[in-house]
């Protein structure tokens, strides 16, 4: 069975061999090794390579054959500090990007929910408009029926008046008499 290499960083500083604690300041090298900040910079005062893999920080590779004394130590330390700040800022930006992506996904879900609600509200509005059109038709029909009823009552009233003018003189019998139902309807209408 082959031994698997762990991709996690060691839980301790490889210079002083003490474990990292939450408040400890750490520095990560270009070769992705992590050390206590004070241990690392103390190391860098005397050497210009990684304490773990011996990678040269100036040129980025081991055994370069370059005269390291030509490069000022202060400049190299400043570059390492800048690199460390850049890495921390990159991690912070990645975290912010992930948070923004999650927020964007939540907003997209909310928009989808609102779109669904908009569709159901539009459907309800269409149904309401159809019902309103039906009620308008019923109202129009009832208004027309009322006009026809008024006209019919007016005609009945006119016929009664004409009938009364055509009455047979007293003492003579007439074959035609106004039905009692019509007289009741007309008397209700005239009051």
The pLDDT tens digits for 132-168 are: 888 888 888 888 888 888 888 888 788 777 766 665 5
Class of domain 11-71 as given by CATH: alpha beta
- Tens digit of pLDDT for each residue in 92-120? 999 999 999 999 999 999 888 888 888 88
- Cα–chain center distance at 84: 38
- Tens digit of pLDDT for each residue in 37-96? 888 888 877 777 888 888 876 544 444 444 445 455 666 677 777 888 888 888 999 999
Q: What is the b/e burial string over 147-161, where b = at least 16 CB atoms within 10 angstroms of the residue's CB?
A: eeeeeeeeebeeebe
* CA-closest candidate to residue 180, choices 172, 168, 170, 188: 188
């Amino acid at each position: 069975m082959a031994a698997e290499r762990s991709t996690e960083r060691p839980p301790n500083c490889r210079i002083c061999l003490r474990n990292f604690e939450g408040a400890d300041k750490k520095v990560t090298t270009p070769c992705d090794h992590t050390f206590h900040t004070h241990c690392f910079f103390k190391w860098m005062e005397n050497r210009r390579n990684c304490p773990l893999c011996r990678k040269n920080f100036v040129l980025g590779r081991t055994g370069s054959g370059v005269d390291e004394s030509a490069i000022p130590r202060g400049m190299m330390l400043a570059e390492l500090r800048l690199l460390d700040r850049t890495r921390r800022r990159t991690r912070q930006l990645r975290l912010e990007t992930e948070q923004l992506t999650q927020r964007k996904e939540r907003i997209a879900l909310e928009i989808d929910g609102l779109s669904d609600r908009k569709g159901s509200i539009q459907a309800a509005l269409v149904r309401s408009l159809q019902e309103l059109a039906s009620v308008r038709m019923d109202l129009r029909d009832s208004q027309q029926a009322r006009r026809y009823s008024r006209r019919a009552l007016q005609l009945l009233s006119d016929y009664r008046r004409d009938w009364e003018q055509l009455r047979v003189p007293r003492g003579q019998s007439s074959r035609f008499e106004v039905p009692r139902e019509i007289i009741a309807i007309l008397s209700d209408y005239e009051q």
